[in-house]
């Protein structure tokens, strides 16, 4: 009876808190705000496949609206830039013509020449005052021209920033659509399969936590020392194929490995092209040529990592030339084997000091 009650409780926890996203109406800004609220509600509700698909739908609609908003901003800005270009042209032409005429008048308006060429002092004063007004008008025109030039430069910078923002939003939309399609393909829209994936992700996290507590110290290593071989340990419960999961934690918090690794050209499967990754001083743990199968952050496969807020917590990679994993930096090496679902996963990690640890999962 107790077992039946436990099973019913688990089933209830999966479905009772399911929240459906409402359809949003209004102008673009109102709909953006509505979908943002929808996503927050969906994140706080039960973790079911239906709920996750609703999150994807809301996120996709939100990103599409933001793309529309950015395109409208670019359109308005382009119109203002066209107007500014016209104003700049007119002001520049007007100022160029005025400068020539004012120069001629200034030559004639020399106080000494005015004095000897005029019949009386009143005439001298009138001519000088008129010249002064012309010069003041020229200065005002010059200030307007300078202001128009400054505004034009600022608007052009804003336009470039908006274009970059638009490109980023479109890339984000592609990732969201791919994530939804991938999840439906993997689970075949089956709740049981989805819950299995969530359990596998949690099991992998638990394995890392246990390894930190019970890992066996191997000893100090130097950058470049071999520490393990790329493998597929954890299959089938916590691995889908031979690869290295490389993860970095700082003060026990996940962090992007990119800023620690040296800049390198790698093949990124997400974009199906070679990209430059890395901005730090560490060597890469595997040799060229490196193929990055999943990067850090939101990816088409990261929705199952609920414990990390839906981000993939490291780099998944393979080498086309060697299975040897090498220490990217000095530190103390540890190794551990932990249960992961129905499988055993092998983990090595290096403590680099100052709260910095690098992990290497699925090793042989």
CA 26, 27, 28, 33 dihedral sign is negative
Instruction: pLDDT band for 4, please (50, 70, 90 cuts).
Output: very low
pLDDT above 90 as % of the chain:
52
Tokens 């030559």 correspond to what residue? 107
Residue 258 has pLDDT above 70, yes or no: yes
Q: In the prediction, which pLDDT does 77 show?
A: 82
* Residue-range domain boundaries for the chain: 17-189, 192-361
C-alpha distances (whole Å) from 48 to each of 195, 208, 320 are 8, 25, 38
209 pLDDT tier (thresholds 50, 70, 90): very high
Q: Are 146 and 106 in contact (CB under 8 A)?
A: no
State whether residue 322 is helix, strand or coil. coil
Q: Give 11-67 pLDDT, tens digit per residue.
A: 334 433 444 556 788 888 888 888 888 888 887 666 899 999 999 999 999 999 999
Examine the pLDDT at 347 and tell me if it is beyond 70: yes
- pLDDT of res. 10: 42
Q: What is the pLDDT of residue 14?
A: 40
Q: What is the pTM of this model?
A: 0.70
Under CATH, to which class is 17-189 assigned? mainly alpha
CB atoms within 10 A of CB 58: 24
Give residue-wise pLDDT tens across range 113-151: 555 555 555 554 555 565 567 666 667 766 776 777 777
pLDDT at 283: 97
Count the helix, strand and coil residues of the chain and give each as a percent rounded to the nearest 5.
55, 20, 25
In angstroms, rounded to a whole number, what is the distance separating the alpha carbons of residues 204 and 317? Answer: 17
pLDDT (average), residues 338-361: 95
pLDDT at 83 over 50: yes
Question: Looking at residue 80, what is its pLDDT?
Answer: 76
């Amino acid at each position: 009876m107790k077992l039946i009650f436990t099973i019913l409780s688990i089933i209830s926890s999966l479905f009772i808190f399911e929240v459906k996203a409402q359809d949003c109406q209004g102008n673009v800004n109102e709909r953006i705000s509505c979908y943002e609220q929808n996503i927050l509600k969906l994140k706080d509700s039960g973790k079911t496949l239906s709920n996750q698909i609703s999150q994807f739908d809301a996120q996709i609609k939100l990103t599409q609206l933001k793309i529309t908003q950015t395109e409208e901003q670019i359109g308005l800005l382009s119109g203002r830039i066209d107007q500014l270009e016209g104003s700049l042209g007119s002001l520049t032409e007007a100022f160029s013509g005025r400068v020539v005429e004012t120069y001629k008048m200034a030559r004639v308006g020399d106080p000494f020449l005015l004095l000897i060429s005029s019949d009386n002092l009143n005439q001298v004063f009138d001519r000088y005052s008129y010249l002064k007004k012309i010069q003041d008008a020229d200065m005002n025109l010059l200030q307007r021209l300078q202001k128009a030039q400054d505004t034009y430069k600022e608007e052009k910078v804003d336009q470039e920033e908006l274009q970059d923002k638009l490109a980023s939003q479109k890339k984000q939309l592609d990732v969201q659509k791919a994530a939804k399609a991938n999840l439906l393909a993997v689970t075949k829209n089956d709740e049981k399969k989805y819950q299995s994936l969530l359990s596998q992700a949690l099991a992998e996290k638990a394995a890392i936590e246990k390894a930190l507590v019970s890992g066996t110290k191997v000893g100090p290593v130097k950058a470049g020392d071999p520490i393990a071989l790329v493998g597929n340990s954890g299959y089938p419960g916590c691995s889908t194929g031979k690869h290295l999961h490389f993860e970095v934690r700082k003060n026990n918090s996940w962090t992007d490995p990119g800023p620690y690794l040296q800049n390198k050209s790698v093949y990124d499967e997400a974009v199906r092209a070679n990209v430059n990754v890395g901005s730090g001083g560490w060597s890469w743990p595997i040799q060229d040529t490196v193929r990055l199968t999943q990067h850090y952050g939101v990816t088409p496969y990261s929705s199952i990592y609920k414990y990390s807020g839906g981000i993939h917590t490291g780099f998944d990679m393979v080498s086309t030339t060697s299975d040897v994993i090498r220490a990217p930096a000095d530190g103390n090496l540890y190794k551990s084997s932990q249960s992961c679902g129905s499988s055993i996963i092998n983990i090595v990690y290096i403590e680099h000091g100052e709260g910095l640890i690098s992990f290497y999962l699925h090793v042989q």
